[in-house]
Amino acid sequence: MKTDRIFKEQLFSRLAQLYPQNSLDTEKVEFDSLTQLYNSAAIELTTVLGVKEKREWSAYGCGFASFVESWFFYEEPEYEFKFDGMQGKGYNGVCIIFSLLEPMFAAGETHRTWDDHGGSGMLPSIGMIDEYSSSSVKSLSTRICSQLKASGIPQASKRTLKEPISPSIVIESNMNDGSLKLFDAFYHWMD
C-alpha cells in the first residue's frame, strides 16, 4: 500500500533525526506539545464516543518511556473480563500507545482488572498491535482509530512497526526482544 510505504519512509527519516549518533537525542523531541495533543484527543474520545479511559502517562518509575498509554473501554457485559479468583472489576478494551518521539499511535486489545487496592497494568508489545479476540473490542477500536486519525494523528500498523532497523542503533529498553524494529525505536521504556 502506497500510504504505508510513505509513512514507513517518514518514520525512517525521523529515526535518523532522533538517533544521529546511534543513540536517542531527547533534545529533538517535543514532549509537551505531543502530550497536549494526545490529552486533547483522549478527552475528545471520551466525550464523542462515551468511552471510559484509564491512563498510564507517568507511572514508569524513574526511567524514561518514549510513549504514553491510554486504555479505552465500556463498562458493559460484552466487554467484561473475568478469571477464577479475580477480585474487583475487569474489562477488555482498546490500548492506544502514543509515541512521544513522533506524532503517531498504535492500537490493540488488552484487558485490565482493578479493585479498591489497585489494578493490573500491561507493558505494550509489538505482539498486541492490531490484534483483537473480541468483535466488540475490534469495533470499538475501529471507531477510536478513525477519530484519532480525523484529529490528525497517524496510525502505525504492526506491519510498519515490524520493519527492522540498523543494529548499530542503541536502544536501552526493557521491552525489546533482541532484534530491533521501528517499534523499539518509537515505543520503548528504559528503567
Domain ranges of the chain: 2-190
Tens of each residue's pLDDT in the chain, 191 residues:
457 788 888 898 888 888 888 888 777 777 788 889 999 999 999 999 999 998 876 655 556 788 888 999 999 988 888 776 667 778 889 999 999 999 999 999 988 877 666 666 667 888 999 999 999 999 999 999 999 999 999 999 999 999 998 888 888 776 666 788 899 888 887 76
Helix axes 31-49, 135-150, angle to 10 degrees: 130
Q: How far apart, in whole angstroms, are the C-alpha atoms of residue 111 and residue 107? A: 13
Q: How distant, in Å, are the alpha carbons of 48, 56, 90, 103, 149 from that of 124?
A: 25, 11, 18, 17, 20
